[in-house]
């Protein structure tokens, strides 16, 4: 075998050259290009993983909704369970009493609201139609839009909504899936309240080394974040509904209680829900009492939401849920596009818990300062 004067055979030299070629080409690229390529590849992998998880969640929609609702309710009811356990109530009866308390509150509030507002929802629809008609007149008189163009846009929107409406068979199947999801969520809620902590300890016992401490801390932070979000969101939604409802009563706007209920439900969808609920209240005020009352209603809605966003939310949520409003808006929009109303409800708590868990893991793995 002939050497090339360097102590290596030509075959070895050629192989080494071929192997070093791609590395040299990569090293020869400018560092912004290498950084952009690396981050783009990571972003593609993350987006592909999220897309795959989203597709699986859509395919298993009833199960995904049941799991999300179970975790939300478990975090919401965990303080009640702990209070019962401190009173030396066994785990199973404490979990059952907690669920019965939840069902009693929901049924009682539902019956009360239905008795007070069942006859008003038809009137609410009429008031909304009148408000939309007045808004239509204002748009056509103030903007360079003709009646024909606006009618065509409204007709296209209605056709799109009617085309996306489910058929009777699909509606029956959806109702069955919702009923099954509710039943499954209640069963899972009982077992999580009863055995959730023992399940978590079983998971931690399977961890070894420093991973156990990191996992335990990340789990505590994530669970604390979900609990703070669930309880804080319910309190803030109730405060918003109360404030806007009182403003509607003082302004003499009809249907104040149904509008307050819509505001409470909209409070569970950050930013978008409050905006939609406020728009409905302004439309009803416009149809019932004219533009002056509508402007006062708009001012009241904005004032309540500003007080809630700048004063109450930091006090109630504290620093457990740290997401910028722009991030919340993007997350809610993405959740709505992926899974509709259910996605809008669960997108923000998922993002908040994920961010807090990742932040905790990064802080634990960061090197200690010298």
Domain boundaries, the chain: 61-161+182-365
Regarding predicted confidence, which is higher, 109 or 125? 109
pLDDT at residue 117 in the model: 65
- pLDDT tens for each residue of 125-154: 666 666 666 666 666 666 666 666 666 766
- pLDDT tens for each residue of 316-345: 665 556 677 777 778 878 877 777 777 777
Asked if residue 307 has pLDDT above 90, the reply is no
pLDDT at residue 180 in the model: 80
Question: Percent of the chain, pLDDT > 90?
Answer: 9
pLDDT at residue 190 in the model: 93
DSSP state letters, 131-176: HHHHHHHHHHHHSS--HHHHHHHHHHHHHHHHHHSPPHHHHHHHHH
Written as six digits, the tokens of 90 are 């066994």
Per the CB < 8 A criterion, the answer to whether 285 and 253 are in contact is yes
Spell out a b/e string for 4-40, using b for 16 or more CB atoms within 10 Å of the CB, else e. Answer: eeeeeeeeeeeeeeeeeeeeeeeeeeeeeeeeeeeee
pLDDT at residue 341 in the model: 73
Asked if residue 11 has pLDDT above 80, the reply is no
Regarding predicted confidence, which is higher, 220 or 266? 220
Written as six digits, the tokens of 57 are 């969640």
Q: Minimum mean pLDDT among 111-125, 300-314, 334-348: which range?
A: 111-125
Q: What is the mean pLDDT of the chain?
A: 77
Name which of 240, 245, 232 is nearest 318 in CA terms. Answer: 232
Q: Name the band, by pLDDT with cuts 50, 70 and 90, for residue 83.
A: very high
Q: Name the band, by pLDDT with cuts 50, 70 and 90, for residue 96.
A: very high
Asked if residue 164 has pLDDT above 50, the reply is no
Per the CB < 8 A criterion, the answer to whether 226 and 72 are in contact is yes
Name which of 337, 263, 348 is nearest 72 in CA terms. Answer: 348
Cβ neighbours of 332 (radius 10 Å)? 21
Q: Where are the alpha helices (DSSP H) in the chain?
A: 10-28, 31-59, 61-86, 91-117, 121-142, 147-164, 168-205, 210-251, 256-266, 272-289, 291-307, 313-317, 325-365
């Amino acid at each position: 075998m002939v050497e090339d004067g360097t102590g290596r055979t030509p075959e070895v030299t050629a192989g080494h050259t071929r192997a070093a070629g791609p590395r040299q080409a990569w090293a020869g690229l400018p560092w912004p290009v290498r950084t952009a390529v690396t981050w783009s590849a990571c972003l593609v992998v993350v987006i592909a993983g999220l897309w795959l998880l989203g597709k699986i969640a859509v395919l298993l929609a009833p199960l995904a909704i049941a799991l999300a609702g179970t975790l939300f309710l478990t975090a919401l009811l965990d303080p009640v369970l702990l209070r019962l356990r401190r009173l030396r109530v066994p785990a199973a009866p404490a979990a059952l009493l907690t669920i019965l308390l939840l069902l009693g509150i929901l049924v009682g509030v539902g019956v009360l609201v239905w008795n007070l507002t069942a006859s008003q929802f038809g009137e609410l629809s009429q008031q909304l139609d009148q408000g939309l008609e007045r808004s239509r007149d204002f748009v056509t008189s103030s903007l360079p839009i003709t009646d024909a163009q606006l009618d065509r846009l409204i007709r296209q929107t209605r056709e799109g909504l009617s085309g996306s409406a489910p058929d009777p068979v699909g509606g029956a199947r959806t109702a069955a899936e919702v009923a099954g999801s509710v039943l499954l969520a209640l069963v899972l809620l009982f077992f999580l309240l009863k055995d959730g902590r023992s399940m978590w300890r079983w998971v931690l016992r399977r961890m070894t080394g420093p991973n156990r401490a990191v996992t335990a801390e990340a789990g505590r932070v994530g669970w604390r974040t979900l609990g703070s979000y669930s309880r804080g969101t319910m309190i803030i939604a109730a405060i918003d509904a109360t404030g806007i409802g009182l403003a509607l009563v003082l302004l003499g706007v009809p249907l104040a209680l149904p509008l307050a209920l819509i505001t409470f439900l909209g409070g569970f969808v950050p930013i978008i829900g409050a905006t939609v609920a406020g728009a409905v209240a302004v439309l009803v005020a416009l149809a019932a009492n004219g533009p002056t009352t509508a402007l006062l209603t708009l001012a009241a809605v904005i004032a309540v939401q500003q007080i809630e966003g700048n004063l109450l939310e930091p006090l109630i949520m504290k620093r457990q849920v740290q997401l910028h409003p722009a991030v919340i808006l993007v997350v809610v929009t993405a959740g709505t596009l992926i899974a509709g109303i259910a996605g809008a409800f669960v997108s923000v708590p998922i993002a908040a818990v994920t961010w807090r868990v990742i932040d905790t893991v990064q802080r634990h793995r960061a090197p200690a300062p010298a």
